[in-house]
C-alpha cells in the first residue's frame, strides 16, 4: 500500500511529466523562434528587451563582425541569447506556464483531504512547529493574480510577476548561464564555420534550458497560488529517493517550513542544488 506521501509524490511527478511533454512539444519551434529572435529584430518585444538592459536593435551579426571580443562582447551576445529564450518562454506561456500549472493543481488537489495525516506523519521532522504558523496573513495584492490574469499580461508584466514570486531566475542568472555557452565563440574568427557551429550549439543549449526553467516556474507559481490564493501555508521538501540526490537536497528531505521561509533559504533548483537545474526535488503543500 502506498502511503499518502507516496501517492502525493506520484501525482506531483505525473504533473511534472505532463509539463515536460508540453515543453518537449515546443522543442522544434523553440529552435526556430530563438534563431529568429537572435538574428532579426522584427518579432522582438522591444519593451521587454529594453527593460533587460539590451539594445533591441542589435543582432548576432553585429557581434559576429566585431573583432574586439572583450567582456562587453561576451555579455552583449550572451544577453541576446538569454533575452531570446526568455521571450520565447513568455510568448508561449500557455504551454510553458498556464497548462502545466493547471494540470499540477488538478493532479494534487484531491490530497488536501489527507493533508492533516500528512502533517502529523511529518511533524517530527518539522523545524517549524505547525501550531506556530499564523493562519491569518495579509495577502499582498500582487500575489492575488489568477491564471487567467497571467494570460492578459504583457511579456514585461509577466516577467516581473514571475521574478516577484520567485518563479524565474533573475535575468542576470540567465545571462551568466549564457555567457558560459558563448565563451567558446571568442576563439573563432568572424564568419568561420566554427563560429556558426558554436552559434547553433548555443541556440540548442538555450532551447534545452527552457525545460528546467519551465519546471521551476510551474512549481513556484503553483506554490505562490497555494500560499497567497488558497489555504496552504506549510510546504514539505520531497526528494527522489536515489543516489543522485545531492547532500544539500538530502538534508532538506521531508523538512517543513512556510513557503516564505523556503524562499529565504532557497527553493529547489539551480540556486541551491549542487546538481543545478537537474534538481528534481519538489515542495509540496501539506
Question: Of the ranges 132-140, 209-217, 256-264, 270-278, which one interacts with Zn ion (CB under 5 A)?
Answer: 270-278
CB closer to Zn ion, 234 vs 273: 273
Query: Binding mask 25-44 vs Zn ion (x if CB under 5 A, - otherwise)?
Result: --------------------
Task: Name which of residues 213 to 232 contact Zn ion (CB under 5 A).
Answer: none
Q: What is the 3-state secondary structure (H, E, C) of the chain?
A: CCCHHHHHHHHHHHHHHHHHHHHHCCHHHHHHHHHHHHHCCCCCCHHHHHHCCCCCCCCHHHHHHCCCCCHHHHHHHHHHHHHHHHHHHHHCHHHHHHHHHHHHHHHHHHHHHHHHHHHHHHHHHCCCCHHHCCCCCCCCHHHCCCHHHHHHCCHHHHHHHHHHCCCCCCHHHHHHHHHHHHHHHHHCCCCCHHHHHHHHHHHHHHHHHHHHHHHHHHHHHHHHHHHHHCCCCEEEEECCCCCCCCHHHHHHCCCEEEHHHHHHHCCCCCCCCCCHHHCCCEEEEC
Nearest of 177, 174, 170, 186 to residue 71 by alpha carbon: 186
With binding defined as CB under 5 A, does residue 78 bind Zn ion? no
Q: How many residues bind Zn ion (CB under 5 A)?
A: 6
Question: Of the ranges 8-16, 96-104, 140-148, 266-274, which one interacts with Zn ion (CB under 5 A)?
Answer: 266-274
Instruction: Name residue, grid cell 493562519.
Output: 135
Q: How far is the CB of 247 from Zn ion (least distance, A)?
A: 8
Q: How far is the CB of 280 from Zn ion (least distance, A)?
A: 6
Query: Binding mask 229-258 vs Zn ion (x if CB under 5 A, - otherwise)?
Result: -----------------x--x---------
With binding defined as CB under 5 A, does residue 279 bind Zn ion? yes
Q: How far is the CB of 172 from Zn ion (least distance, A)?
A: 22
Q: How far is the CB of 282 from Zn ion (least distance, A)?
A: 9
Return the residue of 34, 174, 210, 273 that touches Zn ion, per CB under 5 A. 273
CB closer to Zn ion, 210 vs 281: 281
Q: How far is the CB of 213 from Zn ion (least distance, A)?
A: 16
Return the residue of 34, 78, 165, 281 that touches Zn ion, per CB under 5 A. 281
Task: Please give the residue ranges that form the binding site for Zn ion (CB under 5 A).
Answer: 246, 249, 273, 275, 279, 281
Amino acid at each position: 500500500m502506498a502511503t499518502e506521501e507516496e501517492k502525493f509524490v506520484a501525482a506531483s511527478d505525473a504533473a511534472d511529466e505532463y509539463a515536460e511533454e508540453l515543453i518537449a512539444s515546443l522543442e522544434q519551434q523553440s529552435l526556430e523562434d530563438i534563431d529568429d529572435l537572435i538574428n532579426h529584430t522584427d518579432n522582438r518585444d522591444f519593451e521587454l528587451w529594453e527593460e533587460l538592459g539590451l539594445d533591441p536593435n542589435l543582432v548576432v551579426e553585429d557581434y559576429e563582425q566585431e573583432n574586439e571580443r572583450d567582456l562587453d562582447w561576451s555579455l552583449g551576445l550572451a544577453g541576446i541569447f538569454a533575452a531570446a529564450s526568455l521571450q520565447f518562454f513568455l510568448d508561449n506561456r500557455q504551454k510553458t506556464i498556464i497548462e502545466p500549472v493547471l494540470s499540477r493543481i488538478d493532479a494534487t488537489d484531491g490530497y488536501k483531504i489527507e493533508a492533516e495525516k500528512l502533517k502529523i506523519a511529518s511533524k517530527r521532522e518539522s523545524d517549524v512547529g505547525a501550531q506556530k504558523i499564523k493562519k491569518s496573513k495579509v495577502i499582498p495584492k500582487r500575489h492575488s493574480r489568477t491564471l487567467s490574469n497571467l494570460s492578459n499580461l504583457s511579456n514585461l508584466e509577466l516577467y516581473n510577476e514571475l521574478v516577484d514570486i520567485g518563479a524565474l531566475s533573475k535575468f542576470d542568472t540567465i545571462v551568466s548561464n549564457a555567457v558560459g555557452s558563448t565563451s567558446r565563440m571568442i576563439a573563432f574568427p568572424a564568419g568561420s564555420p566554427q563560429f556558426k557551429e558554436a552559434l547553433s550549439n548555443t541556440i540548442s543549449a538555450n532551447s534545452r534550458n527552457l525545460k528546467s526553467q519551465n519546471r521551476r516556474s510551474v512549481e513556484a507559481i503553483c506554490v505562490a497560488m497555494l500560499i497567497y490564493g488558497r489555504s496552504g501555508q506549510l510546504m514539505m521538501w520531497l526528494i527522489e529517493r536515489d543516489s543522485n540526490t545531492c547532500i544539500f537536497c538530502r538534508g532538506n528531505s521531508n523538512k517543513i517550513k512556510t513557503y516564505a521561509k523556503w524562499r529565504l533559504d532557497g527553493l529547489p533548483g539551480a540556486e541551491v542544488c549542487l546538481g543545478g537545474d537537474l534538481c528534481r526535488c519538489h515542495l509540496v503543500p501539506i
